[in-house]
């Protein structure tokens, strides 16, 4: 299940820089986009980055279930 957008898991996801070992190409590219956004714009891009990640997982929750489990764990 996709955590609520206000859940702290999202802030951790966009700022940790952790390599999760995602399997889906779409997740890998989305995550790279988010990391680059934070690297270039810092805290001012947090909301935008969380929107990108949250909307991605909501839209693709069935297809990238394994990747979603990785960020939830």
The residues binding other proteins (CB under 8 A) are 19-22, 24-33, 35-36, 39-40, 52, 55-56, 59-60, 62-63
Q: At 37, give phi and psi (nearest 5°).
A: -60, -45
Smallest gap from residue 63 Cβ to other proteins (A): 5
In whole angstroms, the minimum distance from the beta carbon of 16 to other proteins comes to 12
Structure tokens at 53: 């990640």
Comparing CB distances to other proteins, the nearer of 9 and 52 is 52
> Using CA atoms in the order 34, 39, 32, 56, what is the torsion angle rounded to 10 degrees?
0
């Amino acid at each position: 299940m996709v955590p609520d957008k206000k859940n702290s898991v999202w802030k951790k996801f966009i700022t940790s820089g952790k390599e999760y070992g995602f399997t889906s190409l779409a997740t890998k590219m989305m995550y790279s986009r988010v990391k680059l956004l934070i690297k270039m714009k810092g805290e001012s891009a947090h909301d935008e980055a969380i929107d990108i990640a949250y909307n991605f997982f909501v839209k693709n929750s069935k297809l990238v279930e394994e990747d979603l489990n990785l960020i939830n764990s």
